[in-house]
Chains A and B, each alone.
Chain A
Amino acid sequence: MSSFATLNTARTALWAQQRAIDVTGQNIANVNTDGYSRQRAELQSLGGSTVPAFFSTSSGIGSGVDAAKVARIRDAFLEGRAHQEYANNAQLTVENESFDLVEQAFREPGDTGVQSLLSKMWAGWGDVANQPQDLAARSQVLQRLGTLVGGLHAGQASLDAQWTQTRENLDVVVKDVNAAAASIADLNQAIKRANLGGLPANELTDRRDSLVMKLAENVGATIRPTEDGVVDVIVAGITLVSGSKASEIKAVGSIDPADTATVPPTDPPRIVTATGGYAVQVGGKTAGQLNTLNTIIPTYRNKLDAVAVGLAATLNGQHTAGYDLAGNPGTAILDSSSGPITAKSIRLAITDPKLVAASSLAPGTGGPALDNGNADKISQLRLSTTGVDANYRQMIVDLGVQGAVTTRNLDIQQVVTQQVDSARDAVAGVNIDEEMTNMLSYQHAYSAASRLVTTVDEMLDQLINRTGLVGR
């Protein structure tokens, strides 16, 4: 072992410690960067010759340290779990928002909801029963019925607007997913090249993994690592990104909320592959949006339609059993502007207050009777346990229960997601104390290596300048 070899050892040490300090610097710089995984200079002692030969022996002491590799510290299993939990969280968040909006559409409980409009309408029939001869009471009940019909229209319109907005959002998210998939493919290519060229690709990998997380959130993507640091992105068995190639998905299906009224819908909004048009069972945000489009809003839309149909059937049934002010049999009081009766098409069929059939007594010899029997019967329809009020209340209770369940599920999911996040951060996050301690060690190691150089220098100085002075 030559003295110059020791100098070389010191040189590798200086170089390695400096590199380690560089890495520490990078870690500290990125302590608050989202998606950054901490890095570590992998120090490795250098041994002697791996293949000993006659003129290639080592002294048994190694020849320094090598820090060629900078490892990225990340737990692949935790990442996998995070993909899943982020997807669940995104889906529940969307569904929870949908229920919130549906609740807002009905404005219950309160003085402005359909229930209160119903109560006022029934009370209006009570006034007609008190004053069957009074046109004011009769037109009042028609006005109140008109307001109720308006309330049904408004509820339906608000659900439809929510549906249309969600449908548009779905398209936006799909565009976002396709863009992210293309970026991931590009990054895969770059990472592959870097790895093949022996260049560090940690930062590129961080960027790619952030994009993968975004895909997991949006469509419930999972990954399958392949060679050279490349990952394939898979959505429900369909490969979205394969190495450096990205395929696309698209949202197809109806863009009109009225199409979802039939069960099952003929052309439900769904996600398919852009080429081939195969259905993709997405997760994450898009799954929440699809659930909103195909289940949540249509359910309440149909229930509101049923309320409108029930209202029309009940009122018309009783109204046609009565007689109006002129003694003519009552006609239908509610009908549809076009097609079957829905919450959207329901409308007031009569405008003349004289046509309100308040009497249950057919006209006799003395002309039409000023009876109030039918008006009273109509005002009592609110008590029916299978009537409009009961059905509407049932619907609101269902909505409340489902909304509450979704909120609770979201709360739980948020805790789970947060735990996974902490676990990931525990592995991949930067701890300043740790970095400080590492910096201290590397700094001291650097000083010690410098001292080694000085020591060898002094030794050589001793040898060269002060040894063998005899005869000088």
Chain B
Amino acid sequence: MRITQRAVALTSLQGLNRNLDSVAKLQQQLTSGKQISAPSDSPTGTNRAMQTRNDQAAVDQQARNITDAQAWLDQTGSTMQSMIAQVQRVRDLTVQGLNTGAASGPSQQALATEVASIRDGLIALSNVSVQGRPLFGGVTSSGQAYTTAGAWAGNAGAPVMRRVSDTESIRIDITGPEAFGTAPSDLFSVVDNIATDLTANPAALDGHLTALDDVLKGMLAGVADIGSRATRVDGLAQINSDRALSLSSQLAVTEDIDMPETIMRLQMLQVGYQAALAATSKAIQPSLLDYLR
């Protein structure tokens, strides 16, 4: 084949350009830290990166949901604990009222007053709210779980759920009737009856005590339920943060460059590029002119 100086120059130039192009590409990867900068760099990688980012956003959101669920459950648990303590006190007072059947009217009256005031406290506690929503009101929009008369004003149309993973939602609320029994044998009616009957009809207190014990049992079961759900949410929080970690490492594997490898490749390319430059300068220089007189 006939070779001409121009052909040699053009071929060398094209080779040099190709080398420089590879160097530029690696340099771009190194400076951006990403190996995929356009979908055509790796269509499947792009797909995975996009999916992973989508999952990451969801996991971040689920982490927020879980924190919210924890706050709600903790608040519910502690509110119920303090209500149980109050109910214990009502029980004590009722038992006292039973034992002191022969006691004087004023002391019965004093017991009745205390029970009545505890009842008001219990109603106040049952209206504890988180971010404007009463804990025991279900999905009510009225801002109140129990009226001052002790009637449930909530809405049990749907449970309050928190999305904790793509596949799982957890119920975080317990409605008033579930926690405190349904009227007429609910907590507030029973306590109201006790307050009334301490003075009016001490003989009925025995029956009320049984009813109170039933309510208390229900409340304890409710606390246990809330507690076990809180434990489950705590476990899910751990799983969620593990998932977030694995997703970000997955994204890094898909998108980010392998720094040592890329630097090594760049070094090798630079050596190649320099060799090409040196070879070109040697190949283009000589012609017959150098040897003719």
Q: Which A residues lie at the B interface, using CB under 8 A?
A: 31-32, 99-100, 103-104, 106, 108-109, 111, 113, 115-116, 118-120, 122-123, 126-127, 129-131, 133-134, 325, 359-361, 364, 366-373, 376, 379-380, 382-383, 389, 393, 396-397, 399-404, 407, 418, 421-422, 425-427, 429-433, 436-437, 440
Contacts and interface: CB of A to CB of B under 8 A. Distances in A.
Given A130-B68, A360-B158, A361-B139, A396 B54 contact: no
A108 B4 contact: no
Given A100-B38, A130-B64, A370-B140, A422 B288 contact: no
Contact of A364 (B5, B157, B166): B157
In the complex, which range does the number of interface residues on chain B fall in? 35 or more
Given A418-B14, A432-B289, A108 B50 contact: yes
Nearest to A129: B163
B133 A370 contact: yes
B39 A126 contact: no
B262 interface: no
A382 B58 contact: yes
B225 interface: no
A289 B1 CA distance: 37
A429 B36 contact: no
Interface in B152-182: 153-155, 157-158, 160-163, 166, 169
A425 B7 contact: yes
A93 B13 CA distance: 19
A116 B60 CA distance: 13
Contacts of A402: 40
Contacts of B53: 109, 111, 115-116, 119
B39 A361 contact: no
Contact of B255 (A109, A120, A437, A440): A109
26 contacts: A32-B6, A100-B40, A108-B39, A109-B39, A109-B49, A113-B50, A115-B50, A119-B57, A119-B58, A122-B57, A126-B62, A126-B163, A129-B65, A130-B68, A325-B141, A376-B161, A382-B58, A393-B47, A397-B44, A400-B42, A421-B10, A425-B4, A425-B6, A425-B7, A426-B1, A429-B6
B142 interface: yes
Given A366-B142, A380-B163, A400 B155 contact: no
Residue in A106, A115, A120 whose Cβ sees the most chain B Cβ within 10 Å = A115
Contact of A403 (B40, B157, B163, B289): B40
Given A376-B161, A426-B3, A433 B288 contact: yes
Contacts of A126: 58, 61-62, 64-65, 163
Nearest to A118: B54
A421 B13 CA distance: 14
Nearest to A398: B43
Contacts of B280: none
A426 B44 CA distance: 43
A252 to B, nearest CB: 32
A418 B169 CA distance: 62
A432 B36 contact: no
Contacts of A368: 141
B131 interface: yes
B251 to A, nearest CB: 9
Nearest to B154: A366
A130 to B, nearest CB: 5
B114 to A, nearest CB: 33
Given A126-B163, A366-B154, A367-B140, 11 more contacts: A103-B38, A109-B255, A119-B58, A126-B65, A133-B131, A359-B139, A367-B142, A396-B46, A400-B47, A436-B287, A436-B288
Contacts of B4: 425-426, 429-431
A260 to B, nearest CB: 22
Contacts of B43: 396-397, 399-401, 404
A56 B238 CA distance: 116
Shortest 6 CB-CB contacts between residues of A and residues of B: A400-B39, A403-B40, A400-B43, A119-B57, A429-B4, A126-B61
A369 B155 contact: yes
B51 interface: yes
Contact of B38 (A115, A361, A403): A403
Residue in A131, A367, A369, A380 whose Cβ sees the most chain B Cβ within 10 Å = A369
Interface string B57-84: 1101110110010000000000000000
Contacts of A100: 38, 40
A425 B39 contact: no
